[in-house]
Structure 1
Amino acid sequence: MPEAVSTETPIAVQSMSAAEHYAAAEAEFAKAQQLSKADPDEYRRVMDCASMHLRFAEVLTCGASLVIDYALAKESPAYRDVKVSSAGWESSAWNELLGRTRGTR
């Protein structure tokens, strides 16, 4: 008998903010703490998942910061050195990614 098809959006395609990734990491760490002695393999898997969420939160925070810095550089001559560097290209990529994941593009 075929399995039922899930109608839930897979976690891999859900967009999450840095704060949501951080909260997910906290939940995974709590789950891992409960599993630490009961199931070492599942403990490692859950810890890997928590670490992944923390890395995503860090990357989103850094990317958003870069986008803001570049926006300031475009407006103010005091930030001219940032504008001339590769930050422009990098922040354009972040703007595109953040816009795509938030549905604003």
Structure 2
Amino acid sequence: MTHVSTHVLNAVTGRPAAGVAVTLTDTTGTLIAQATTDENGRVTSLTDDSLTGVYRLMFDTASYFAAQAVVGFYPEVLISFEITDPAGRYHVPLLLSPYAYSTYRGS
């Protein structure tokens, strides 16, 4: 089974970004899973289904920044990634600030 997880860190405060809504879809927009980051900024498991192909994680950054009383430039962050091993673990972290973001394949 494929394991997909994420972690969001507020790069301005250096703290986990709790309360960020995260959606996992396939390339047609079909919903696979929805979750919200916990107090540690993590979603430990979005799916344990067997997946292969290209998928998208969408982070609702507008709502997160509004709750922090911060104006941001990116209302959402969309990360496309490819699952090549249906038995693999795919951790997709997001480093977030109001005017920039970055991501990488985590472990």
TM range (shorter): under 0.3
Q: Relative contact order (alpha carbons < 8 A, sep ≥ 6): 1 or 2 greater? A: 2
Using structure 1 for the length normalisation, give the TM-score.
0.21
The structure with more strand, counted as a fraction of residues: 2
The structure with more helix, counted as a fraction of residues: 1
Using structure 2 for the length normalisation, give the TM-score.
0.20
